[in-house]
Amino acid sequence: MAHAHHNDHDHTAHVHTGHDHTGHGASGHAHAGHSHGHGFESDTAILWAVLVNLALTVAQILGGWWADSVALIADGVHNLSDAMALALAYGARRLAQRGASPRMSFGWQRSEIIAAFVNYATLIAISIWLGYEAILRLADPPQVAGGVVMALAGLALVIDLGTAALVWRSARDSLNLRAALLHNLTDAGVSVAVILGGLLVWAFGWNRIDPILTILISVVILIHVAGDIRPVLRILMLGAPPGTDPAAVKTAMEELPGVIEAHHLHLWQIDEKRSSAEMHLVIEDQVDFTVVIADAKRVLAERFSITHATIEVERPAAGCAGPTHA
């Protein structure tokens, strides 16, 4: 029985791998070429955005130190995180364009997910640090140069909105770039708050508004990150694709002609655009396993948008279904 199961498994693997490799290789090649032709202009825009945000970071941190404004320094540090986010996004996009290889059989597209996670983790760390610094200043707020704060925050707002405009088009198709875009949009909000704070300090001498705004900014950033980091964590933790019910997949497989049971079912996302499935199907003795595999792949693709699948077939008395494996 063990020998019969081994032969079935070998044939299954051979048929599946040949079919899947051909399809994936062709589509992967076409996709890479399309991305490269479409992405050059957006990659150049990202590089310019990185350089502009680095220059703004230096101006805001030096200006915040001179004006004694923790909110302006917070905005500057956040702009530094913008530059880092965009640099990571650029590097990940370039890496993702590399094709698959024997050592990296799925390609490098997952690097964009890693970059998105690093960006979000950086935002969390920065927000906590800024909140802590602001709390320390609440008891004895220093004198703040409101005019300098408004001028530099206004410049930052213009640059943040310009950077977001450069990234917006490409972010529609990339979780990685959407993370970088969130950096810019939240920082634009930070800049607006800092401008208002500088205005209140300049007009009324309300120095305590500076650390209060910083705390509010930190909370808003953390709320945004909490919502947007979830799909990134799901992909990294090999969670099932959103909107795909594993129980429904199992039922669909067991409804196929000749299938007795589906088990060892695993669903996960390879990257933002590709999902994968792995399972064992127990089939009736008289059923041709190649037909079962073809039917299973068709159902997975048509009903669940899963185009990568590894399917192992077993007879009722062999493999996991056999009495020696119970």
Would you give per-residue pLDDT tens digits along the chain (326 residues)?
333 333 344 433 333 333 343 333 333 333 333 344 444 456 677 777 778 778 878 887 888 788 777 777 777 776 776 777 777 767 776 776 777 778 877 777 777 788 778 878 887 888 888 888 888 878 777 677 777 778 878 887 887 787 777 667 666 666 666 766 776 777 777 778 778 888 888 888 787 887 888 888 788 778 878 877 888 888 888 888 888 889 999 999 999 999 999 999 999 888 777 889 999 999 998 889 999 999 999 999 999 989 889 999 998 877 675 554 44
CATH code for the structural domain at 240-325: 3.30.70.1350
**Between the CA of residue 158 and those of 152, 161, 162, 164, 191, what are the distances in Å?**
10, 5, 6, 10, 9
SS3 track for 54-109: HHHHHHHHHHHHHHCCHHHHHHHHHHHHHHHHHHHHHHHHHHHCCCCCCCCCCCCC
Q: In the chain, what are the domain boundaries?
A: 30-234, 240-325
- Classify residue 22 as exposed, middle or buried by CB count within 10 Å of its CB (0-12, 13-18, 19+): exposed
Quote the tokens at residue 258: 């000749």
Would the CATH topology of 30-234 be identical to that of 240-325? no
Fold of 30-234: Alpha-lytic protease prodomain-like (1.20.1510)
Q: How far apart are CA 245 and CA 242, in angstroms?
A: 8
**pTM for the complete prediction?**
0.63
The pLDDT assigned to 130 comes to 80
Contacts of 33-38 with C-beta under 8 Å, sequence gap 24+, read 35/96, 35/97, 36/97
* 33 φ, ψ (degrees, to nearest 5): -65, -40
